[in-house]
Structure 1
């Protein structure tokens, strides 16, 4: 009799059999994996032992050179490419920028609102604790402090290409533009709203022959773009050798160095008061590191009992900056001794004095045109100010009201110098407002903002930082983005501009000299912000107005000046003219010192803008402004090597502009005379050219009939006149040097040219504005130095 297994026993048997099956499966899987690993190891060993040809991965390039396109061969995208190098055509290797493609679909107004710049909105929210809903400040993230501005292009902003509420800015005043309902009209409006942003990053040589990076927004990069434009379209001889190929960065080495064991320099107590007042004047609006009321007394007391600590280094640096344009030899001795003291105490002492010392070293080296040294020493000041926590106002408040205010202003001073250095050189800033809680405005008991030069200066420089991050880190700028920035500038102008102009216009006294210079610093930064945001539109208009080559005089098609881009171009020129006039007025009354690095840098940019405006025939009245800028730069050139170089550049640009305008007017007048002279017979009618039959040869082959010579000369007289006026310059010049191609340039009012330029919206895109970025970081410096 068989026993029927119980349900419990059945379950145990089933579980046991399943476990056995699982164990067998795992064993077989392990054996299979072992055999597979052995086979792979054997194959790898065979591959390593057998020689074979290396396999190259084919990489697609964004654009091929013109020669490879014509021959339909592979191009590696380098300049010169490998194909042209192998065939000894490196000089003719040239890349044509790809044409812009218009959008097939038009975004709706609702989608336009979704594409607002998120960074701009986050920036306004971040600075609400600074300025109580004030959007004039512009934070830079920690990534921006370690990465170049071009890194921001990884997340590009796509502005609304067309909108029923799109606006244009005319001299920082918005005006609504009407947009048609048809799709083609909206697409045309999207093109009208945009302009290419020049990415002019360069590698330039300094005085020691070292390569230095100059970023997109720097005035020196703007000069290189202007230089290319003038050389390729106006005159190949526009800029002389000393203004085109010699390094513009003229770093002046120190006069002499001192050892740590040298005797400390002598300080005359009787001159301390005047020297300190000079220091306060030249640094007004840039730094405020001390209480100005007690600084004179503190240094006078210290001069009797000098020490060797960081406090002594700070006092020597104050005296060195005050004497820099008066007695350069004594100032240099003070500076060298102070630098030794500051470096000696760096490892053992870290305090507010450390920040003061290295910030003053930076200011002195900027005024001495030692840009590279100033950039490096300022890095120590930035690390020191973060180390003592001066960027957090709650930390500063623990030391009392007076010390809190002093440490807050110390942070603002470091922020101003950092922004000036980064903007003027086109490099990422070292400081950031991400973790900063120091307010950039002060309110009185009634809630009104207190006028302060340091606050106004840092606010306008933060707007410039916004322009660099939101405009120059991208390839395009739209009128919508420009309107957002102009709103910040208008808000700043409503608060500060009237008071600043009142200070600059007051008769100078010894007490008011510091205020006047500080107001001039702030005004120049404001005008530079306007020029910087509207500069791409100015260059767009210039490429439309200038002829294609030096051998032609036909101007491009012009609008009536009512378009958005035209208004912004005029706004840039107006800002440059206002800056030049302000600086010239202060120079006339003898207020400005000879060493003013911020004013010189922004004045050079203004001079380039006004000079370009004169070249583009924006008005012959600009000739006066260009002459005033040259005179101002020559005044600063007595103590500033940069100003000397800048004055030579502007002189060359002025000469080229005036000569071009004279040739152009003479050519236009000749065209008018050819038609008007026929009314009254002002010029004798030329005899009709004889038939093309060859004349009868004379008996003497070396003898030519005078009548025949006369007919030949007379028949070609008019053509020769025009040909002489529009004679070509260097027709065999290598076209790869000048990346201006396929640009239309026609004038409807000239009788010789009746055809309208095609693809006018792509004129500016034909200019290769990104040589350093598109060529893998390589740039041929021989054409720029």
Structure 2
């Protein structure tokens, strides 16, 4: 499928001035103006980008020409200043323009950050939580790729893919191809078993034997190659040129070409190839690309009737149905269902696949080697099945879906109703935990004694369970930042807060286990997202400083665990990766928490001493091109900023995966003072 490209050329039109202006160079070449003044923006007229601009001079309001509205189009442009004294007596067409020389960047620790303003132009001081987010957003923009390329609206904000030369593209060697298939089924898709291994191996043999293979089948194989490369080695080479990360991009682009050329009716194989591509775009930190691509995939799934039991399947109506196709239909739908819910949680957007619209069965507990087109060989009940990971993950994701709809919906929820929902969801989660087989429960079986596939399933289910626990209890975590002291909170809420923090600590321990085992792969996008959620919870909890020696030990334990997990996420992350954006958000939050706790008058001496050294260094692994001069100043916080409703906090503070989400959150009125109000509690003696 071809995505439309944006027209990157500027719109044509005549200039307001006949002489060269900031919008035109001396040779008549048109230049883009990156920012209009507040008056021109309000009137929706052309602005020359100067201060004062030509329209304001002509209107006689040159002295009031201002650029106070927040700038949200990347790096701030240098403002061109006119000499207003001479402009009052000269024609507007002869106004001399002088570019203000750039001043050297100064550290935010030595000089306060310039004042900000919100979308309505209201003043926002440096102590406001909104200013905190605006500075963070600007830092995230400035650390990204400074170049701008024409790009599709469906991939806006994602890194630009390299040009694909189909004439020079070659398949990997047969040995490398077999290795990629092995990696895919053992590491890349432990809980997403929507491709039948025997069928894929048959496609592979036909492809390398030169036999005719449909475009959809070739796309499925190539997208499988692409996804597997993210688990085989580094961008410096991996195990061989045919299996490294750079080759994965070529496989992905080749798969897209084959899908674009498919002329046959929509099929299950086409949906499998598309879902493979969705997962690959996530491993490449292309969230917007994945969101758009998954929209197409989800609607193709619905069009094929995969959400219904035996609807739309020719195999189901034959005298001898194809059992492989029937099972793959179930597996594909529920794998897409899982991805749909995680995308909903990450973006904070409604899901595309709904429980009330489906009656599809859960896949059978049968491994690929026991699944044939004409028969199913039943495995012994006591054995370990690779399909158990998918089945248990589906059950857990359905609880996650209820959590998102109940606790994070658009409609405000009363405190009593929310607490009732939390109790219900918690009971369902504990029931799920009790149904977990022993080999998938790290409390019963040490994952290190399992094979690679079952280790991956064990770790990923542990992370998913802890992440669901965080989402269930996290609304109660914010009670402590809504004007309540811990003495005013009920024991139930305090227990829920502890459960939320314990779940975050569980994620930290699982991530540490994966790192030590060499299984925290670059392609593990959801694991890094869940680790980010855990770090945010721990930093939020430690915002409230300890008051006793025992609390100090616990505080240091939580804060140190958050730092260690943050380090795991940011280690070896490239500047364009989602992990690096997570790392930026977490480092900004970490530094702010340290400053607030240190400024608290009753902070225990041992905590103040421990934080003294932490403030002097950063956990940020920055490349040389990254400007780190925008870290926060230690100014006070606006204690007058209060939240109107407790429920709005839980709704507003959804997970922040990248700067696009931060920008979206700035639109929320309730989020404006959240972080400022949350952190200011440490100054109020709580």
In the alignment, is the contact (CA less than 8 A) between 2:648 and 2:670 conserved in 1? no
- 1:180-237 superposed Cα distances (whole Å, 9 cap, x missing partner): xxxxxxxxxxxxxxxxxxxxxxx99899x9xxxxxxxxxxxxxxxxxx9x96489969
In the alignment, is the contact (CA less than 8 A) between 2:129 and 2:674 conserved in 1? no
Q: Partners of 1:780 and 1:471 in 2: how far apart?
A: 17
From 362, 368, 381, the equivalent of 2:284 is 368
Q: CA deviation at 1:386?
A: 2.1
From 328, 340, 345, the equivalent of 1:406 is 328
Q: Partners of 2:436 and 2:203 in 1: how far apart?
A: 33
Q: CA deviation at 1:642?
A: 1.0
Q: CA deviation at 1:764?
A: 4.5
1:578 equivalent to 2:506? Answer yes
Q: CA deviation at 1:403?
A: 2.7
Q: CA deviation at 1:562?
A: 5.9
What is the total number of aligned residue pairs between the two structures? 473
SS at match of 1:434: helix
Q: Partners of 2:399 and 2:163 in 1: how far apart?
A: 39
Q: Partners of 1:234 and 1:414 in 2: how far apart?
A: 36
Counterpart residue number, 1:518? 457
In the alignment, is the contact (CA less than 8 A) between 2:508 and 2:531 conserved in 1? yes
1:496 equivalent to 2:496? Answer no
- 1:70-119 superposed Cα distances (whole Å, 9 cap, x missing partner): xxxxxxxxxxxxxxxxxx9x9999xxxxxxxxxxxxxxxxxxxxxxxxxx
Counterpart residue number, 1:310? 216
Q: CA deviation at 1:508?
A: 6.3
In the alignment, is the contact (CA less than 8 A) between 2:478 and 2:649 conserved in 1? no
SS at match of 1:311: helix
Q: Partners of 1:332 and 1:355 in 2: how far apart?
A: 20
Counterpart residue number, 1:278? 183
Q: Partners of 1:431 and 1:526 in 2: how far apart?
A: 21
From 223, 229, 235, the equivalent of 1:323 is 229
Counterpart residue number, 1:454? 390
SS at match of 1:256: coil
In the alignment, is the contact (CA less than 8 A) between 1:310 and 1:342 conserved in 2? yes
Structural mapping, 1:127-138, within 5 Å: none
In the alignment, is the contact (CA less than 8 A) between 2:408 and 2:651 conserved in 1? no
- 1:451-500 superposed Cα distances (whole Å, 9 cap, x missing partner): 71111111111111111111111323432121111111111111117542
SS at match of 2:270: helix
Counterpart residue number, 1:433? 355
Counterpart residue number, 2:468? 529
Q: CA deviation at 1:445?
A: 10
Q: CA deviation at 1:641?
A: 0.8
1:349 equivalent to 2:265? Answer yes
**RMSD (Å), alpha carbons:** 4.5
Q: CA deviation at 1:354?
A: 1.0
Q: CA deviation at 1:660?
A: 3.1
- Structure 1 pair 506–564 and aligned structure 2 pair: CA distance change class (3 A): closer
Q: Partners of 2:671 and 2:143 in 1: how far apart?
A: 15
Q: Partners of 1:368 and 1:498 in 2: how far apart?
A: 34
In the alignment, is the contact (CA less than 8 A) between 1:238 and 1:652 conserved in 2? no
Q: Which has the higher contact order (CA 8 A, sep 6+)?
A: 1
In the alignment, is the contact (CA less than 8 A) between 1:251 and 1:369 conserved in 2? no
- 1:674-729 superposed Cα distances (whole Å, 9 cap, x missing partner): xxxxxxxxxxxxxxxxxxxxxxxxxxxxxxxxxxxxxxxxxxxxxxxxxxxxxx96
In the alignment, is the contact (CA less than 8 A) between 1:275 and 1:322 conserved in 2? yes
Q: Partners of 1:417 and 1:773 in 2: how far apart?
A: 22
Structural mapping, 1:553-632, within 5 Å: 557-559=485-487, 563-617=491-545, 619-632=555-568
SS at match of 1:394: coil
- Structure 1 pair 339–508 and aligned structure 2 pair: CA distance change class (3 A): farther
Q: Partners of 2:159 and 2:526 in 1: how far apart?
A: 20
Q: CA deviation at 1:272?
A: 1.8
1:465 equivalent to 2:401? Answer yes
- 1:368-390 superposed Cα distances (whole Å, 9 cap, x missing partner): 11111111111222222222222
- 1:431-452 superposed Cα distances (whole Å, 9 cap, x missing partner): 1232422223657899999871
In the alignment, is the contact (CA less than 8 A) between 2:223 and 2:277 conserved in 1? yes
Counterpart residue number, 2:250? 333
In the alignment, is the contact (CA less than 8 A) between 1:359 and 1:381 conserved in 2? yes
In the alignment, is the contact (CA less than 8 A) between 1:265 and 1:333 conserved in 2? no
In the alignment, is the contact (CA less than 8 A) between 2:216 and 2:270 conserved in 1? yes
Q: Partners of 1:579 and 1:518 in 2: how far apart?
A: 15
1:385 equivalent to 2:301? Answer yes
Q: CA deviation at 1:569?
A: 1.3
SS at match of 2:501: helix
- Structure 1 pair 314–507 and aligned structure 2 pair: CA distance change class (3 A): same
Q: CA deviation at 1:247?
A: 8.8
Counterpart residue number, 2:641? 740
Q: Partners of 1:505 and 1:276 in 2: how far apart?
A: 27
1:505 equivalent to 2:441? Answer no
From 402, 412, 422, the equivalent of 2:344 is 422
In the alignment, is the contact (CA less than 8 A) between 1:355 and 1:381 conserved in 2? yes
- Structure 1 pair 272–563 and aligned structure 2 pair: CA distance change class (3 A): same
In the alignment, is the contact (CA less than 8 A) between 1:317 and 1:338 conserved in 2? yes
In the alignment, is the contact (CA less than 8 A) between 2:222 and 2:255 conserved in 1? yes
Q: CA deviation at 1:362?
A: 0.8
Counterpart residue number, 2:87? none
SS at match of 2:271: helix
In the alignment, is the contact (CA less than 8 A) between 2:219 and 2:254 conserved in 1? yes
Q: Partners of 1:537 and 1:92 in 2: how far apart?
A: 37
From 590, 593, 599, the equivalent of 1:657 is 593
SS at match of 2:583: helix
- Structure 1 pair 651–562 and aligned structure 2 pair: CA distance change class (3 A): same
In the alignment, is the contact (CA less than 8 A) between 1:390 and 1:411 conserved in 2? yes
- 1:536-583 superposed Cα distances (whole Å, 9 cap, x missing partner): 110111344xxxxxxxxxxx7432876222211111111111011111
Give TM-score, length-normalised by structure 1. Answer: 0.53
In the alignment, is the contact (CA less than 8 A) between 1:538 and 1:572 conserved in 2? yes
Q: Partners of 1:245 and 1:388 in 2: how far apart?
A: 41
Give the stretch that moved more between structures: 495-504 or 570-579. 495-504
Structural mapping, 1:768-779, within 5 Å: none
Q: Partners of 1:652 and 1:350 in 2: how far apart?
A: 47
SS at match of 1:591: coil
Q: Partners of 2:577 and 2:478 in 1: how far apart?
A: 28
In the alignment, is the contact (CA less than 8 A) between 2:403 and 2:472 conserved in 1? yes
Give the stretch that moved more between structures: 654-663 or 245-254. 245-254
Counterpart residue number, 1:140? none
In the alignment, is the contact (CA less than 8 A) between 2:307 and 2:360 conserved in 1? yes
Counterpart residue number, 1:142? none
SS at match of 2:448: coil
Q: Partners of 2:306 and 2:640 in 1: how far apart?
A: 48
Give TM-score, length-normalised by structure 2. Answer: 0.60
Q: CA deviation at 1:626?
A: 0.7
1:253 equivalent to 2:159? Answer yes
- Structure 1 pair 777–351 and aligned structure 2 pair: CA distance change class (3 A): same
Stretches of structure 2 lacking an aligned partner (at least 5 in a row): 1-63, 78-123, 145-154, 234-243, 366-377, 546-553, 607-632, 654-662, 676-686
Stretches of structure 1 lacking an aligned partner (at least 5 in a row): 1-87, 94-202, 210-227, 545-555, 671-727, 744-761
Structural mapping, 1:3-82, within 5 Å: none
Counterpart residue number, 2:424? 484
SS at match of 1:430: coil
In the alignment, is the contact (CA less than 8 A) between 1:359 and 1:414 conserved in 2? yes
In the alignment, is the contact (CA less than 8 A) between 2:164 and 2:253 conserved in 1? yes
Q: CA deviation at 1:251?
A: 4.4
- 1:147-194 superposed Cα distances (whole Å, 9 cap, x missing partner): xxxxxxxxxxxxxxxxxxxxxxxxxxxxxxxxxxxxxxxxxxxxxxxx
